[in-house]
A and B are shown apart, each in its own frame.
Chain A
Amino acid sequence: MKLSFKNLIILSLTFLKIGALTFGGGYAMISIIEREATIKRKWLTSEEMLDIIAIAESTPGPIALNSATYVGAKVAGFLGAFVASISVMLPPIVIITLISSTLTKYFENPYVKWAFLGMRAGVAALILNAVINLGKFLKNEKRPAVYAVFFLSLTLGLLSVFHIISFDNIFIILGTIIFGIIYTFLESFINKRAKKVLTPNDKSDDLKNKNDLEKK
């Protein structure tokens, strides 16, 4: 698309609207972005939108922000990415700043306290609900290593949350990334080995011996 002032204005207005009107962030926002960008504005095809969702999910940072940046870049390059991501953040920044400057004064008010004590139960339910929704992938998961990572992370997470041991959560993520890389390499290495063993050549005996050693 041609980079023009008008395009940037439309891009900015679209993402201001998305930022001001979408509740819940993340996935809720993706469906709105999809509607605006593919159907209404025809900036992207639905295949491109799927690619964007995949990238937004597999890179660090909030999904809503990631997809806004990518859509902006797609529409109007670097400047577009900047305009789209700032626009999507601006309404919530203004709204929350206004709420913070007024509401926090009332946190000691008993009525406000009671309402928030009730809401606390709702927040707990909301997070548990998200865990159930996000955990659907486990239904078709058979690899024991995935469950091992889950339970190890859960144990470490709980120990940290209840101050039994103190360490930064990011080490769980870093450890998982390293484990994922090693696992992927080992898996493809072993698969290659298995193929070689199945098609014998002059070195097959040697390979078989090594494979046997690995099994032990």
Chain B
Amino acid sequence: MNIYLDLFLSFLKISLFTVGGGYAMIPFIQSTVLSKGWISPELLINFIGIAESTPGPFAVNISTFIGYNLGGFWGVICAILGLFLPPFLIIITIFYVGKKFSSNKIVKGIFVFLRPAVLALILSAFSSVAYATIMVSDGGTTYFNWFGVILMFASFISMRFFKKIHPIVFLFASAGLGLIFYGFVL
């Protein structure tokens, strides 16, 4: 399939099934991008890191990244168009047709179960990122990244402990510590 059409349709699908915001999108991006072999899992994690630490909605950032990486400027346009269309059409429809959408009994009933399902999917996306942190594969060799394990737990505990500080600060801190440690200590 043409890469532009593929990007458009893939992001259309991802957008349509992302309920509950940015993080809910990670498992769908992960499964789509990796099953199509578009980019490596490690590069995807890099993109997630940058998308979280740059301004704008996470979903728009990550879609732009993947779109640009695969098809340059027009790749971005196709990915963003796919991301944009379903929510735009749905919101416009709800705006003009039924404003009582979210207080509907069946919608509420669906969300009782959608919330735990999405949570479980984000948790499984976390496990794959955690695995890539613990076991790092670099040019055909895989090694145990014990510093990464310490850094992961230290960042997590800091995020839970200093809730007033934006989590991005810890993202930058972990990048800085990584540079110092892997570059100059190891």
Do A and B associate with each other? yes
Q: Does A146 lie within 8 Å of B56, measured CB to CB?
A: no
User: Main SS of chain A's interface residues?
Assistant: helix
Identify the stretch in A1-9, A179-187, A192-200 within 8 Å (CB) of chain B at 4 or more residues.
A179-187
By the criterion CB–CB under 8 Å, are B179 and A73 in contact?
no
Determine the chain A residues whose CB is within 8 A of the CB of B52 once the complex forms: 24, 123, 126
A95 contacts B by Cβ under 8 Å: yes
Q: How many residues of chain A are within 8 Å of chain B by beta carbon?
A: 104
Residues 170-186 of B at the A interface (beta carbon under 8 Å): 170-179, 181-183
| Contact B148–A120 (Cβ < 8 Å) | yes
Q: Does A14 contact B (CB under 8 A)?
A: no
Given contacts A153-B121, A157-B123, A169-B28, whether A123 and B129 have CB atoms under 8 Å apart is yes
Chain A residues, CB < 8 A from B124: 154, 157-158, 160-161
CB 8 Å contact bits of A60-84 with B (1 = contact, 0 = none) = 1111111001100110001001100
State whether A118 touches B174 (Cβ < 8 A). yes
Expressed in whole angstroms, the minimum distance between the Cβ of B15 and any Cβ of chain A is 5
Chain B's closest residue to A67 (CB) is: B91
Is the beta-carbon distance between A122 and B58 smaller than 8 angstroms?
Answer: no
Residues of B within 8 A of A130 (CB): 23, 122
Assembled-state Cα–Cα distance A62/B19 (Å): 7
**Is B54 an interface residue, CB under 8 A from the partner?**
yes
Q: What's the Cα separation between A121 and B147 when bound, in Å? A: 9
Inter-chain CA distance A101–B45, complex, in Å, is 18
A39 part of interface (Cβ distance < 8 Å): no
Report the separation of the CA atoms of residues A168 and B28 in the bound assembly, to the nearest whole angstrom.
8
B-chain residues with CB within 8 Å of residue A179 when the two chains form the complex: 113
**Residue A12 at the B interface, CB < 8 A?**
no
Q: Which of B17, B90, B172 has the most CB of A within 10 A?
A: B17
**B114 A122 Cβ-Cβ under 8 A:** no
Q: Does A213 sit at the interface, judged by CB under 8 A?
A: no
Interface size on B, residues (CB 8 A): 112
- Chain B residues with CB below 8 A from A111, complex form: 179, 183
Contacts of A169 in B (CB 8 A): 17, 27-28, 31, 121
A116-B69 Cα distance, complex, nearest whole Å: 18
Interface flags, B51-72, vs A, CB<8A=1, else 0 = 1111111111100110011000
The answer to whether A119 touches B175, judged by C-beta atoms less than 8 angstroms apart, is yes
Produce 1/0 per residue, B64-102, CB < 8 A to A.
Answer: 110011000100100010011011101110110001011
Q: A19-B55, A127-B122, A131-B126 are in contact. Are A180 and B20 (CB under 8 A)?
A: no
Is the beta-carbon distance between A120 and B129 smaller than 8 angstroms?
yes
Alpha-carbon distance A188/B55, docked complex (angstroms): 45
Q: How far is the CB of B12 from chain A (nearest CB, A)?
A: 10
How far, in whole Å, are A145 and B116 apart by their CA atoms in the complex? 10
B109 and A180 within 8 A (CB): yes
- Residues of B within 8 Å of A97, CB to CB, are 64, 68, 73, 76
Binding site for B on A (CB under 8 A): 19-27, 29, 51, 54-66, 69-70, 73-74, 78, 81-82, 85, 88-89, 91-93, 95-97, 99-101, 103-104, 107, 110-111, 113-132, 134-135, 137-138, 141, 143, 145-147, 149-154, 157-158, 160-162, 166, 168-170, 172-173, 176-177, 179-181, 183-185, 187-188
What residues make up the interface of B, taking CB atoms closer than 8 Å to A?
13, 15-23, 25-28, 30-31, 35, 42-43, 45-46, 48-61, 64-65, 68-69, 73, 76, 80, 83-84, 86-88, 90-92, 94-95, 99, 101-103, 105-133, 136, 145, 148-149, 151-153, 155-156, 159-160, 166-168, 170-179, 181-183
- 4 tightest A-B CB contacts, nearest first: A118-B178, A92-B56, A61-B87, A184-B109
Give 4 A-B pairs besides A115-B178, A161-B125 with Cβ atoms closer than 8 angstroms: A23-B55, A58-B101, A166-B35, A184-B110
